[in-house]
Amino acid sequence: MVDVTSLQPAAPMIGRLVVVGLGLIGGSFAKGLRDSGLCREVVGVDLDPQSRKLAVELGVVDRCEDDLAIACQGADVIQLAVPILAMEKLLARLATMDLGQAILTDVGSAKGNVVRAATEAFGAMPARFVPGHPIAGSEQSGVEASNAELFRRHKVILTPLDQTEPAALAVVDRLWRELGADVEHMQVERHDEVLAATSHLPHLLAFGLVDSLAKRNENLEIFRYAAGGFRDFTRIAGSDPVMWHDIFLANREAVLRTLDTFRSDLDALRDAVDAGDGHQLLGVFTRARVAREHFSKILARRAYVDAMNSNDLIFLAQPGGSLSGRIRVPGDKSISHRSIMLGSLAEGVTEVEGFLEGEDALATLQAFRDMGVVIEGPHHGRVTIHGVGLHGLKPAPGPIYLGNSGTSMRLLSGLLAAQDFDSTLTGDASLSKRPMNRVANPLREMGAVIETAAEGRPPMTIRGGHKLKGLTYTMPMASAQVKSCLLLAGLYAEGKTTVTEPAPTRDHTERMLRGFGCPVTVNGATASVESGSKLTATHIEVPGDISSSAFFLVAASIAEGSELVLEHVGINPTRTGVIDILRLMGADITLENQREVGGEPVADLRVRAAKLKGIEIPEALVPLAIDEFPVLFVAAACAEGRTVLTGAEELRVKESDRIQVM
Cβ atoms of residues 410 and 403 within 8 Å: no
Check residues 450 and 626 and name the one with the higher pLDDT: 450
The conformation of residue 463, written as its DSSP 8-state character, comes to E
Least confident segment among 28-32, 34-38, 292-296, 557-561 = 292-296
Written as one string, the DSSP assignment of 168-187 is HHHHHHHHHHHTT-EEEE--
Convert 517-548 to b/e letters by CB count within 10 Å (16 or more is b). ebebeeeeeebbbbbeeebebbebbbbbbbbb
Reference 363, options 335, 401, 318, 321; nearest CA is 401
The three-state secondary structure class of 347 is: strand
Annotated active-site residue 627? The verdict is yes
Reference 508, options 351, 330, 335; nearest CA is 335
Cβ atoms of residues 65 and 42 within 8 Å: no
> Quick one: pLDDT at residue 596?
87
pLDDT per residue as tens digits for the range 338-381: 999 999 999 999 999 999 998 899 999 999 999 999 999 898 89
What is the C-alpha separation between 463 and 450, in angstroms, rounded?
6
What is the C-alpha separation between 295 and 500, in angstroms, rounded?
42
> Quick one: pLDDT at residue 217?
74
Q: Can you give the residue ranges of every domain in the chain?
A: 4-186, 193-275, 333-540, 543-661
Cβ atoms of residues 85 and 24 within 8 Å: no
- The CA-based angle 271-274-278, given to 5 degrees, is 85
Sign of CA dihedral 620, 625, 629, 633: negative
Say whether the peptide bond before residue 459 is cis (omega within 30 degrees of 0).
yes
The three-state secondary structure class of 494 is: strand
What is the C-alpha separation between 519 and 529, in angstroms, rounded?
7
Average pLDDT over residues 386-398: 94
How far are the Cα atoms of 503, 581, 622, 656 from residue 649, in angstroms, in the given order?
Answer: 14, 18, 10, 13
Q: pLDDT band at residue 278, thresholds of 50, 70 and 90?
A: confident
Reference 437, options 474, 480, 403, 482; nearest CA is 482
Catalytically annotated residue among 76, 182, 580, 627: 627
Element (H, E) at 88: helix 87-94
Q: Which class is domain 333-540?
A: alpha beta
Task: Kindly report whether the global pTM for this prediction surpasses the value 0.75.
Answer: no
The conformation of residue 306, written as its DSSP 8-state character, comes to P
What is the C-alpha separation between 406 and 454, in angstroms, rounded?
17
Element (H, E) at 189: helix 188-195
Written as one string, the DSSP assignment of 362-388 is HHHHHHHHHTT-EEEEEETTEEEEEEE
β-pair type (374-379, 382-388): antiparallel
Evaluate if residue 4 carries a pLDDT over 80: no
Q: pLDDT band at residue 205, thresholds of 50, 70 and 90?
A: very high
Average pLDDT over residues 35-64: 94
| Fold entry, domain 4-186 | Rossmann fold (3.40.50)
Q: Which amino acid does the sequence have at 567?
A: E
pLDDT per residue as tens digits for the range 491-531: 999 999 999 999 888 899 999 999 999 999 999 999 999 99
Convert 143-176 to b/e letters by CB count within 10 Å (16 or more is b). bbbbebebbeebbbbbbbbeebbebbbbbbbbbb
The conformation of residue 40, written as its DSSP 8-state character, comes to E
| Fold entry, domain 543-661 | UDP-n-acetylglucosamine1-carboxyvinyl-transferase; Chain (3.65.10)
pLDDT per residue as tens digits for the range 570-599: 999 988 999 999 999 999 999 999 998 878
The conformation of residue 358, written as its DSSP 8-state character, comes to S
Check residues 614 and 321 and name the one with the higher pLDDT: 614
Count the Cβ atoms, other than its own, within 10 Å of residue 252.
15
What is the C-alpha separation between 62 and 635, in angstroms, rounded?
68
Evaluate if residue 187 carries a pLDDT over 60: yes
Q: Which residues pair with 200 in a beta bridge?
A: none
Cβ atoms of residues 328 and 593 within 8 Å: no
Residues in Cβ contact with 126 at an 8 Å cutoff, skipping those fewer than 6 apart: 104, 118
Q: pLDDT band at residue 652, thresholds of 50, 70 and 90?
A: low
Count the Cβ atoms, other than its own, within 10 Å of residue 293.
10
Evaluate if residue 171 carries a pLDDT over 70: yes
> Quick one: pLDDT at residue 650?
59
Written as one string, the DSSP assignment of 231-296 is HHHHGGGGS-HHHHHHHHHHTHHHHHHHHHHHHHHHHHHHHHHHHT-HHHHHHHHHHHHHHHHHHH
> Quick one: pLDDT at residue 661?
56
pLDDT per residue as tens digits for the range 595-611: 988 788 999 999 999 99
Judge whether 333-540 and 543-661 match in fold.
yes
pLDDT per residue as tens digits for the range 124-149: 999 999 999 999 876 677 899 899 99
CATH architecture type of domain 193-275: Orthogonal Bundle (1.10)
Cβ atoms of residues 76 and 2 within 8 Å: yes
Mean pLDDT, all residues of the chain: 89
Return the biggest CA–CA distance within the chain: 89
pLDDT per residue as tens digits for the range 284-342: 888 888 777 766 655 554 432 334 445 677 878 777 788 899 999 999 999 999 999 99
The conformation of residue 329, written as its DSSP 8-state character, comes to P
> Quick one: pLDDT at residue 299?
56
Cβ atoms of residues 435 and 653 within 8 Å: yes
* CA-only gyration radius of the chain, Å: 31
What is the C-alpha separation between 9 and 358, in angstroms, rounded?
44
